[in-house]
Chain A
Amino acid sequence: MVDHVKTDAELVASTLRGSQEAFRQLVVRFERPVYSLVQRMIQDPAAAEDLAQEVFLKAYRRLDTYDPQWKFSSWLFKIAHNTTIDHLRRGVPDTVPLETEGDDRGDLSAVLADSSTESPAAASERRDLGRALEQAISRLRPEYREAVVMFYAHGASYQEICEVTGLPLGTVKTNLHRARKELAGLMTAAGWGPEAVKAGRTPDETGSERVS
């Protein structure tokens, strides 16, 4: 017999009826997207966990106001968006961390290296690619960064990004286009892409500090 996987709306309804397990499932289902969005916006893994918890706490307290016509993920991302901006307004500077060699907390390269089937060289390359992409993302303007993470990493639609950020559709499309171009420029400058391969260079030779 195949287990019925409950939809987000069903889990919300069960939570509202008092089911602790249903809320746990919602948290487990969305902890990675929410944490990953918040962490990339504030660039601080320790604060990101607290903030991501706050997002779920707010969602739990206002769950009765959730309209099932919305996608639950959009509603949750909206709370994450507001909570992150409120956090930054409380005076925490929006800083870009320096190169964190060996510090794998909250770093894409850490999870990339998790593949046990890869050779050490391939794993190292994946780690470098993850680190380079993460650094490039961290150098984007906040509104670009948020759009990139939502659209490409979480597969959100233009409309969902509009609902979360409150920006018009045209602005969201422009932001995404410019962000993608900027990201490509940063990755190319760091030595990634077909030209680097043709030239016989490896990203290690060019160095990630070329990302500027």
Chain B
Amino acid sequence: MRPSHHEALDRWLAAERDDRSDSADIADAALRELFEALPLLAPPAGFADRVLARTGLQTAATRSVFASRVLRLALVLSLIATALGAIWLPPTLRALAGLWSLGDVVELGIWAVAAGSRGLATVLSVWDWVFSLGRTVAGPLMTPQVTGALTLCLLVSGLAFRFLRDQISGERSWNHVHPI
């Protein structure tokens, strides 16, 4: 004898191929029956406790982070890496100390400061050029009328953006599930 869920499945799929007027009703009933035979997905145990803890109605009954196998593995790996690092650190430091004298380190530091200063000077000269260009362009626009018009445009576009965003957020249709 075939299990009831198989009978429901067969009835549903047969009804879908049928041209009878009541085939849709038969398919609906059979599919509902099939779902009834298949229990609902269940959340992990302790779900209600965790919800109550989040609402503040009950003290936390959270799952330990060590319950996760991945986290436990990551913890063990990081401990091994730290232990290996502790073993290899002193010889590595000694080898580095042999390669570079104190004078070399000071020289490298001076060179780094000099290079940084030169870079900063270049950036500042470019910024100065951009700033003077902006001042030249903005000069004629700094009349009260133009400033007012620009402020108005910014205000209108800001409000329009907010309105559209609210419209899309408020609609909650599956057409707009992509990030906005």
Q: Measuring CB to CB, which residues of chain A are less than 8 angstroms from any residue of chain B?
A: 20, 23-24, 27-28, 31-33, 35-36, 39-40, 48-49, 52-53, 56-57, 60-61, 81-82, 85-86, 88-91, 94, 106-108, 111-112, 114, 122, 125-126, 129-130, 133, 141-143, 146, 151-153, 155, 165-167, 177, 180-181, 183-184, 187-188, 192-194, 197
Contacts and interface: CB of A to CB of B under 8 A. Distances in A.
Nearest to A28: B48
Nearest to B55: A60
A35 B44 CA distance: 10
21 contacts: A20-B52, A20-B57, A23-B57, A27-B47, A31-B47, A49-B47, A86-B169, A89-B177, A90-B179, A91-B179, A111-B38, A112-B39, A126-B5, A129-B9, A130-B38, A152-B31, A166-B171, A166-B173, A167-B173, A188-B13, A193-B13
Contact of B43 (A32, A107, A146, A192): A32
Given A31-B42, A111-B41, 12 more contacts: A20-B58, A35-B43, A36-B41, A57-B54, A82-B172, A89-B176, A89-B177, A89-B179, A142-B174, A184-B16, A187-B13, A193-B14
A165 B177 CA distance: 13
Contacts of B52: 20, 23-24, 27
A143 B41 CA distance: 19
B47 A52 contact: yes
Contacts, number: 138
Given A27-B48, A89-B176, A122-B3, A106 B39 contact: no
Given A108-B38, A111-B42, A143 B48 contact: no
A52 B52 CA distance: 13
Q: For chain B, which range describes its interface: under 10, 10 to 19, 20 to 34, or 35 or more residues? A: 35 or more
Contacts of B156: none
Nearest to B54: A57
Contacts of A89: 169, 176-180
Given A112-B38, A126-B3, A194-B10, A31 B43 contact: yes
A150 B27 CA distance: 16
Contact of B55 (A23, A108, A130): A23
B28 interface: yes
Nearest to B32: A152
B51 interface: yes
Contacts of A112: 38-39
CB-based closest 9 A-B pairs: A193-B13, A36-B41, A184-B16, A35-B43, A88-B177, A91-B179, A142-B174, A32-B40, A27-B48
